[in-house]
Amino acid sequence: MKNWLITSGAVYQYFDVSSPIYSDHNMQNAAGFVQGDFKKNKLGISTGLRYEGFKTDQGSFNFQPNFRFGSNYKLAKANYLRASIGQADRTPSIAERFINTSIPGLFFIPNPELTSESGWTAELGFKQGLKLGKWKGMFDVAGFIQEYENMIEFAFDSLQIVDLFAGDISLGFTGTNVGQSRITGIETSIMGQGKI
């Protein structure tokens, strides 16, 4: 397969936590992946697949495939156009699911039912090389969109108001799946170097 570089591998991680804040839990992560990188003349392509699963305590592994694709093209001597799209899943951490602590008037309450985030992101960008005398630099602009299902954040829940200290009412925060979220934007940057 001329012009292709293939990379593959596997990952396994085991975490064991014993803490007064999170109590005793363990988490396992297992994944296999393959990526292909193609380069010919002015065109570069990268594509990959990762099959990954997580398991917490006595639960079962929940495996999900995630795909990514990216390309870049050299338009001219110092002009580059790029595009990418990719998927991802994120399992809630032990801290997000099992935190159980407080400071005066504020409680963090465990939520073992917290589910994984999943989503995708896409980007289209342009890079322009710059030269002014002995100064060299680069200008970059990119538009992006990110979309998530079951995004996780710590939030106040009126159902989580608790009464723990002789009738004192305190606020409770817990890890929550907030549903579907979309983030869009444009990023620009300019940088350079030279001698003064």
Cα–Cα distances in angstroms (integers) from residue 99 to residues 135, 158, 191, in the given order: 52, 18, 42
pLDDT of residue 157: 61
Region of residue 55 (left: phi > 0; alpha: psi -120 to 50; beta: else): beta
Cα–Cα distances in angstroms (integers) from residue 156 to residues 68, 108, 177, in the given order: 35, 9, 12
Whether the CB-CB separation of 92 and 152 falls below 8 Å is answered with yes
Quickly list H helices, 52-180: 94-98
* pLDDT over 70 (residue 148): yes
pLDDT tens digits for 82-105? 999 999 998 898 888 998 888 776
pTM for the whole thing? 0.76
